[in-house]
């Protein structure tokens, strides 16, 4: 079951592409680059993208095809700029920004990522293309009655979040002790943690959690989407 969080921070914008260093695009007030990175990609006919295997934003299908909302937007944009091929590099979500600005593993991030002031200090975002509320993944029936991060704090619940995602800071800002928070690698790990009873709930965008529940194997179908409060 997914349940949308009822609090004011849930409507932060998310952007599909983020760039660092010699940015190909500009966002968050950053200045446009000289274009050298774009010129190099045009000459090579290929650009390297970072994905976190988080459906439906950027992920690899069983047949090896890389797709997702952010990936397809990037594919359309760069094709129009004369760059026909995307080369994907998959890392954990929490490694996307370090992989872009420090390790230089890819030229840009193609993932659903909240635009926050701290992230804008390091990377430039594309123009946001949608919004997504934060939601909670809970066991069927929501036995703990989780609706907000305050519920997690007040009931001393074990919370799972995606490593590097904004929900970790949301929880801390709401007074949830760090000892109650588990940072996991991907949305599938969040789902399994809740279903196996290692976490009382998980927090991520409603889009990600609904997608994870819909794609769960039959033997793990105990959690189902539910309407928001």
Give the pLDDT band (50/70/90) at residue 166.
Answer: very high
Look up the pTM and report it: 0.82
Residue 181 pLDDT exceeds 90: yes
Torsion sign, CA atoms 208, 211, 215, 218: positive
pLDDT tens readout for residues 61-87: 999 999 999 999 999 999 999 999 999
Q: What is the reported pLDDT for 87?
A: 97
Give the chain's domains with CATH numbers.
Answer: 2-10+133-220 (3.40.190.10), 13-131 (3.40.190.10)
Residue predicted with more confidence, 95 or 127: 95
Give the pLDDT band (50/70/90) at residue 18.
Answer: confident
**Which residue's entry shows tokens 């590099």?**
89
**In this structure, are residues 51 and 71 in contact, taking their beta carbons and an 8 Å threshold?**
yes
Distance of alpha carbon 201 from alpha carbon 216, whole angstroms: 16
């Amino acid at each position: 079951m997914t349940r949308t969080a009822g609090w004011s921070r849930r409507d932060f914008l998310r952007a599909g592409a983020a760039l660092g260093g010699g940015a190909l695009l500009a966002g968050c007030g950053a200045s446009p680059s000289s274009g050298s990175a774009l010129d190099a990609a045009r000459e090579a006919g290929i650009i390297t993208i970072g994905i976190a295997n988080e459906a439906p934003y950027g992920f690899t299908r069983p047949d090896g095809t890389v797709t997702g909302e952010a990936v397809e937007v990037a594919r359309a944009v760069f094709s129009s700029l004369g760059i026909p091929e995307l080369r994907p590099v998959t890392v954990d979500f929490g490694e996307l920004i370090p992989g872009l600005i420090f390790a230089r593993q890819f030229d840009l991030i193609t993932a659903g990522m909240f635009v926050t002031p701290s992230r804008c200090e390091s990377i430039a975002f594309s123009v946001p293309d949608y919004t997504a509320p934060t939601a909670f993944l809970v066991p069927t029936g929501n036995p703990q009655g989780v609706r907000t991060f305050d519920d997690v704090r007040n009931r001393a619940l074990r919370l799972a979040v995606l490593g590097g995602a904004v929900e970790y800071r949301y929880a801390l800002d709401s007074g949830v002790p760090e000892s109650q928070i588990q940072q996991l690698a991907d949305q599938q790990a969040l789902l399994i943690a809740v279903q196996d009873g290692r976490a009382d709930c998980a927090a991520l965008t409603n889009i990600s959690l609904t997608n994870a529940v819909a794609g769960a194997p039959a033997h793990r179908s105990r959690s189902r989407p539910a309407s928001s409060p």
